[in-house]
Amino acid sequence: MSGIEFLANMNISPKTVKKLKDMGLNIVRVSEVMDCKSKDRDIINYARLKNKILITQDVDYSELLSISGYNKPSVIILRLQNVHPDFVASRIFDVVSELREELKEGIIVSADERYVRFRNLPIGKE
């Protein structure tokens, strides 16, 4: 997926990140570029300034984006019951493939095992 860069939050397994790298995604984990105890707001700002799409399991990011009024970064929020790294990586890859263009523009995505829903950013400005 050339041209798109990803930032995996700390709640995304290093095994999942490795698998995604093996699948061709340009992805780093928060611990590779920031203090692993960075606050959510700092992670959002980093992703926004570095033009990276954030992948997380933390639903608080939708609230942060709503409050901020930002149109980026795009955020993929995973709500998966199956947390096996191979499954998670495969699901992320599918979501990214399906929403590639929308992710470039600025969206917030919620994905579980069966469904993918997204909203354009900034939230409330549709």
Please state the pTM of the whole predicted model: 0.95
Q: Where are the domains of the chain?
A: 5-120
- Positions in the chain whose pLDDT score sits under 50: none
The reported pLDDT for the residue numbered 62 is 87
- Reported as a single tens digit per residue, the pLDDT across 33-52 is 999 899 999 999 999 999 99
Spatial strand order of the sheet with 52-56 comes to 26-29, 5-8, 52-56, 75-78, 107-111, 116-120
The reported pLDDT for the residue numbered 16 is 98
Give yes or no for a contact between 80 and 103, defined as CB atoms under 8 angstroms apart. no
